[in-house]
Structure 1
Amino acid sequence: MRILMVQFTVKDGTADAFLEAAKGDGRGSVLTEPGCYRFDIIQDREDPNRIAFTEVYDDDAAIDDVHVKASHMTAWRDATKDMIVDVKVGRCRNVFPSDLASWNARRDGVNEGFSSENLFIIHAQLPVQADKVDDFIEAVNLDGVGSTNLEPGCLRFDVYQEIEDPTKLWLYEVYVNPEAFQFHTTTPHIAKWRDTVADWYEGDRPPGVRGKNVWPTDQWNWSSGNPLA
């Protein structure tokens, strides 16, 4: 798998237009590109100018040879190029869960008119000390297993690692609502993970995006299943 984790800050007054253009790219990617499994669009609940994408592809070729050349991608890029203040991109491999988990966002028969924006999603980069990366991954994988298998309100707890800089990890957590995330913060597995990795970060953690699903809607497939690896 190859995952693009992207965070934007957009200009005041442009968020709605940016999101509409992004939805067009998302629909085109998931519905017409065979190698694209997800194109999730998240908007921060506190700062609507902060927007994130989680894009999941088969491999590098699905990104470089197909997605970046697609007409919907070109249309999005042209429509939004003057709206963006800042962008951060990480091209990653999946650490947890494995390729055998549920990745495809599509679900047959889903009507986009159904409810949306009810999920609570965390999209965050974690800079880790170079000599602690393997230990950090082991610890966070255990938290991922606990979260997705023991918490009915946790739909995903994905861990990704940047290809070019393996000290940069990303968390992508999806909960059915904010209350499910609050429950997550009280569990023994999150407490153990938090205590274990407290001194393993490299500098300050950059602010993540914590917010709602703009696209796709709640009824699409957000769950990774119950992965053990």
Structure 2
Amino acid sequence: MYILMVRLKVKEDRIDDFIAASIGDARGSVLNEPGCRRFDIIQAADDPTSFAFCEVYNDEEAFAAHTTYSHFKEWDAAVKGMFDGDPEVSFCKPVFPRGDANWDSHRANIVDDPYFASSLHVIHAPKFVQKDKVEAFIDAVSLDGVGSTHEEPGCLRFDVYQNVKDPTEIYLYEVYANPDAFEYHKGTPHIRQWVETVKEMYDTSRDGGGRVGRNVWPPDNWAWSSGKPTW
């Protein structure tokens, strides 16, 4: 898998325009590109001008192909002038799950109704780790991922990605059924163990800039769950 974790900030008066253009690109990517597995759009709850994308492709070649499609070119032209600052893009590989998992977001024959839009709670957060602690951090967070997806009814996915150009940047991509499910997650024994294990592993000289908020697209009734993946 070749994964893009994108963070963007949009001018306040262009939010609706940006959402419309981005949904067009995301829908076109998932429905028309054989190498695009998912293209999730997240809007931060504490700052509606802050967005994040999680784009999952089969490989780097599939991402390169993505940039040749008309829906991407239309998006690229439409959003010029909408950004408040340059987008930040991390090119990543998955480190959890490594075994069997559900990656595809599309589900056939779903009910297409506004009722199913945007009730999930999604965390899109980079973590910066000391160079000599990277493998230990990955081991610890992967154990947390197993606990979260296997033991929590409200945790739909808990993916861990590593920046291929900067291995000390580890992305957490967590999807919960609702904010209450995330609150439940914070009290579990596996998260308590993980917090204790990794507390001295962070590179505190670098800041995160993650996004926590709703799913703009796809809707709630698409395939958000990773299943019960193995490590």
Shift of 1:99: 5.6
What residue number does 2:136 align with?
Answer: 135
Aligned AA for 2:215? N
* TM-score after normalising by structure 2: 0.96
In structure 1, C-alpha distance between the alignment counterparts of 2:229 and 2:175, rounded to whole Å: 14
Q: Which residue number in structure 2 is paired with residue 179 of structure 1?
A: 180
Cα deviation digits, residues 138-192 of structure 1 (max 9, x gap): 0000000000000010000000001111111100000000000000001111111
Taking the TM superposition and a 5 Å limit, the aligned residue runs for 1:141-156 are 141-156=142-157
In structure 2, the gaps of 5 or more residues are: none
SS at match of 2:67: helix
Q: Which residue of 1 aligns with 2:217?
A: 215
Do 2:99 and 2:230's aligned partners in 1 also have CA atoms closer than 8 Å? no
2:49 is matched with which residue?
49
1:202 pairs with 2:203? yes
Secondary structure of the corresponding residue to residue 84 of structure 1? coil
Measured after TM superposition, the shift of residue 81 of structure 1 is 1.6
Quick one: distance in 1 between partners of 2:46 and 2:24? Answer: 24
- 1:16-60 CA-partner distances (Å, limit 9, x unpaired): 110110000001000000000000000011100000000000000
| 1:22 matched residue in structure 2 | 22
Partner in structure 1 of residue 103 of structure 2: 103
Deviation at 1:63, TM superposition (A): 0.4
Q: Which residue of 2 aligns with 1:5?
A: 5
Say yes or no: does 1:84 pair with 2:83: yes
Please give the per-residue CA displacement for 1:166-223, whole angstroms capped at 9, x wherever unaligned: 1111000000000000000011111111111111111244131000001000000000
Q: For structure 1, which runs of at least 5 residues remain unmatched after alignment?
A: none
| Cα RMSD (Å) | 1.0
Moved over 2 A (4+): none
Letter in 2 for 1:132: K
